[in-house]
Amino acid sequence: MSSLRNAVARPTHKERAQPLERQKWGLLEKKKDYTLRARDHNEKRRKLKTLRQKAADRNPDEFYFGMMSTKAGANGAKLGDRGNQVLSQDVAKLLKTQDAGYLRTVAQKVRKERERLEEGLVIEGKEVKALKGESGKKGHTVFVGSKNEQEDFRPDEWFGTSAEGLSKTYNRPRQQSEVASEEDVADDPSDAAKQRRPQRAVDAELKAMKEERASRKKRQREQEARRIRLEAVKARERDLLIAEQALEAQRAKMANNVGGVNKNGVKFKVRERKR
C-alpha cells in the first residue's frame, strides 16, 4: 500500500512569492530570514541588558586607568579630552588680526549701504520724504542749496503751472494762459455756456487722479520699506562695531597693553616700565 502511495505524483508545496503590487518592496521575507533576524535582535538585547547591569553594579570610587587622563569640574562632572590642540600666542594673535580685518571689511560694506539708503530719505520724526522723484518716471531735477530750501520748495510756483500740470512732462499749461482764458470766458458768457467740457476730458481727468493716487500709495510703500531696511542696516552696523571693539580689546590684552580681571576677580592695569 505504501509503495502505491509513493508511486502517485504529489504536488510540490512552495512558499508564497512577493505579490506583483508589492514587488517594489523587494523579496518577501521567508521564515528562515525572520529566524535569523529575531535571533540577532535577541542577542543584542541580552548584551545590552548585561552591560546595563554591570554599569549599575560598578563602584564609582574603584580605581581604573581612565582616571589618570580625566578631570572633574566644579560640579563634579568629568571633563574628558576632546582632542583639541592648544594654539600658541602668536597663532592666536594672527587669527584675531584676520578676524578684525574681516569685521572691518563687512562694517565698511554695511556703512556704504547705509549711506546709500540715507541719500534717498529725509527723516523728520515719523515723516519720510523722498529726495528724488518717483522711480520709473522721468522728471525735472531742481537743485537747492539746503534742506530748508527743499522743504519750502513749491514746484507749481517754480514751473509756473497748476497742480494738474505737474503730472505732464511737456505742453504744461501756464498760469498766465489760464488767467487769460478765464478773462475771455468772463467777457463772453454766451461762449462759456456753449463750450461745455466733453465726457472724454472728464474721464481723462478722473483717470489721471486715480493714477496719481495709486502712484502716491506706491511711493509711500517704497519709502516705508526703505525706512525699515535702513533701521536693520543701522542695527547690523552697530553690532559689527561692538564686535570689532571687543576684538580690539582682546588683542590689546594679549599684547599686555591694557588691564583686565585676574582669576580672583581683582581688576588690574598694566603699567609701562619706566625708562
* pLDDT the model gives residue 12: 84
Domain that holds residue 233: 89-153+214-238
**Residue 218 forms part of a structural domain:** yes
Separation of alpha carbons 63 and 43, rounded Å: 31
* pLDDT the model gives residue 270: 60
103 CB burial (10 A radius; 0-12, 13-18, 19+)? buried
Mean pLDDT of 218-233: 86
Separation of alpha carbons 156 and 173, rounded Å: 11
pTM confidence score = 0.40
Q: Which residue has the cell 495709486?
A: 214
* Count: domains in the chain: 1
Within 10 angstroms of residue 110's Cβ, the number of other Cβ atoms is 19
Average pLDDT over the chain reads 76
Tens digit of pLDDT for each residue in 76-126?
A: 777 766 667 777 878 888 888 888 888 899 999 999 998 888 887 754 444
**Residue 143 forms part of a structural domain:** yes
Helix axes of 89-119 and 199-254: crossing angle, nearest 10 degrees: 160
**Residue 115 forms part of a structural domain:** yes
Within 10 angstroms of residue 92's Cβ, the number of other Cβ atoms is 14
| pLDDT grade for 172, boundaries at 50, 70 and 90 | low
Residue 135: CB partners within 8 Å, gap ≥ 6?
A: 222
